[in-house]
Amino acid sequence: MDLLITGAAGFIGSALTQALRAAGHAVTALDDLSVTSPRPQPEHLQVRDVRSLTSEDLDGIDTVIHLAADKSVPRSFDIGGFEHNITVDRHMIHTFAASRARRLLMASSCEVYGQQNGPLSEISPHAPRSPYATGKAATEHLAAIYRPLLRTEQQIGIVRLFNTFGPDEAPDAVVPAFLDAAAQNQPLSVEGDGGQARDLTHIDDAVTMLSRILNSPQLLSVVNCGSGRSVTIRALAEAVIRVTGRGTITHTTPRTNEIRSFTADMRLFTTVYGPVSFRPLDQSLATTIRDRSRVWTKPIGARL
């Protein structure tokens, strides 16, 4: 396939670009570098704003994977973050609809679910609790508005990503922040009581799921991309201490509008795209430690 990935220098985008190219696909990688990632940039990266894309730029492209976004929930409460993501997403949908490209796969987020109990299925209602989540929900609605206007051969699919982690993730995310603190034998800062639960997926497993979607002829209107299991932030901190043999836990002020639990209902994905064998948490942390040790002055070994 001929593919175009926006946000290709980001954490997920760079890993997906590498995997798809290794599988023999022609991938045009695009990123404006406004949100940097510690991952190595893909070769032949086009440094370009998504909003500069025209329908002619998509001619010859089979599938567009739109990952570009500022994904920071706290930053979205500042003026500008919400508006930027919405503008970029709307431009991408409009440009795709006017192009000869066949498919558009857009990244949404588990944040659109907000505070709900139990595993979250694709038919669970939107209940966003941040400007970032509100923007993603709006993007999903825009995609639904455009679908009836597309040519017969065109598809727009939404993938709701849950919490993805792994090597080369930005240091402000919870897993690398915990690992960096443990490496320095410093307290691991847990917001609130640490009882908030997150569905954590290793980057390699997330790339496997995205590749399954792209290699299938069917793009679902909306599908979850997570592990289907959750771990509390306190239990995550304890796992980091267990694996590294270092660190202690300290509790800090709860985050504004913190959502108590995210767990993906993965039945739809499994039915359509097949089951995925997810890595155990301790194993995933160990591989992440081996990567992050490059930036530590006193490397530590992963204890399994």
Could you state, in chain order, the average pLDDT of each consecutive group of 10 residues for the chain (304 residues)? 96 96 98 84 96 96 96 82 91 98 98 93 96 96 98 97 92 91 93 96 96 96 97 96 93 88 97 94 88 56 36
Q: pLDDT value at position 295? A: 54
274 is a domain residue: no
Count of domains in the chain? 2
CB atoms within 10 A of CB 91: 16
304 is a domain residue: no
Give the CATH number, domain containing residue 149.
Answer: 3.40.50.720
98 is a domain residue: yes
Angle ∠(57,76,166) on CA atoms, nearest 5: 75
Give the CATH number, domain containing residue 185.
Answer: 3.90.25.10
* Domain co-membership, 179 together with 86: no
3-state SS record for 91-159: HHHHHHHCCCCCEEEEEEEHHHHCCCCCCECCCCCCCCCCHHHHHHHHHHHHHHHHHHHCCCCCEEEEE
* Domain co-membership, 152 together with 189: no
Helices and strands (DSSP H and E) totals, the chain: 9, 13
CA atoms of 282 and 102, how far apart (whole Å): 40
221 is a domain residue: yes
* Domain co-membership, 152 together with 190: no
* Domain co-membership, 135 together with 60: yes
* Domain co-membership, 236 together with 130: no
C-beta separation of 66 from 106 below 8 A: yes
211 is a domain residue: yes
Q: Which residues contact 239 (CB under 8 A, 6 or more apart)?
A: 231, 281, 282, 285
Rounded to a whole number, what is the distance in angstroms from the first to the last CA of the chain? 40
* Domain co-membership, 19 together with 31: yes
* Domain co-membership, 85 together with 119: yes
Residue with tokens 């190219």: 21
Structure tokens at 211: 């590749």
* Domain co-membership, 118 together with 192: no
Segment (H or E) for 174: helix 174-183
Prediction pTM value: 0.93
* Domain co-membership, 15 together with 130: yes
- What is the rounded (10 degree) CA torsion for 249, 254, 259, 263? 0
Structure tokens at 91: 């431009």
* Domain co-membership, 89 together with 183: no
In percent, the amount of the chain with pLDDT more than 70 equals: 95
* Domain co-membership, 118 together with 193: no
Q: Please choose, from the candidates 38, 62, 66, 28, the residue with its C-alpha nearest in 3D space to the C-alpha of residue 50.
A: 66
Q: Please choose, from the candidates 3, 79, 73, the residue with its C-alpha nearest in 3D space to the C-alpha of residue 42.
A: 3
SS3 86: helix
272 is a domain residue: no
* Domain co-membership, 101 together with 232: no
| Domain encompassing residue 53 | 2-162+202-225
289 is a domain residue: yes
9 is a domain residue: yes
